[in-house]
């Protein structure tokens, strides 16, 4: 399956190949490129050598083109990017907490898919949220 991802702010493509590329930061002023597997629910993450990640660290993620923070207004622990599959638009929400597995594929009608053992902690909150693509 082919997934295409874009920044929800500037619409720049985020996966020029099969890896989603974002700028990540866990400390103010210290940023690095971070790669994500494109399949929702696959939690493979690629960090440059020398970057240590500890479970529970809260990361900020930014668009590598416009620099906008991808954190959602509705929940401080979730980030959002756009996804298109077979010409259908979706919003993908994912946890920015290291080691936490929670991913949601959302349309204007609500959550279409949820992935990860930690997703259950967000479900009640997401039901109340409205997303327009």
Mean pLDDT, the chain, integer: 91
For strand 45-46 and strand 30-36, is the pairing parallel, antiparallel, or unpaired?
Answer: antiparallel
Instruction: Calculate mean pLDDT across residues 76-94.
Output: 95
What residues does each domain of the chain span?
Answer: 4-127
Condensed to tens digits (0 to 9), the pLDDT of residues 29-38 reads: 899 999 999 9
| Model pLDDT for residues 95-113, shown as the tens digit of each residue | 999 999 999 999 888 889 9
Residue 73: pLDDT band with limits 50, 70, 90? confident
pTM above the 0.85 mark? yes
């Amino acid at each position: 399956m082919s997934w295409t991802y874009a920044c929800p702010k500037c619409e720049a493509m985020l996966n020029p190949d099969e890896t989603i590329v974002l700028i990540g930061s866990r400390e103010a002023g210290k940023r690095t490129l971070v790669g994500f597997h494109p399949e929702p629910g696959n939690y493979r993450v690629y960090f440059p050598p020398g970057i240590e990640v500890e479970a529970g660290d809260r990361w900020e993620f930014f668009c590598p083109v416009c620099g906008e923070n991808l954190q959602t207004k509705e929940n401080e622990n979730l980030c959002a990017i756009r996804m298109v599959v077979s010409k259908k638009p979706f919003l993908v929400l994912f946890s920015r907490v290291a080691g936490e597995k929670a991913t949601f594929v959302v349309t204007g009608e609500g959550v279409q898919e949820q992935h990860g053992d930690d997703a259950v902690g967000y479900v009640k909150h997401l039901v109340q949220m409205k997303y327009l693509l």
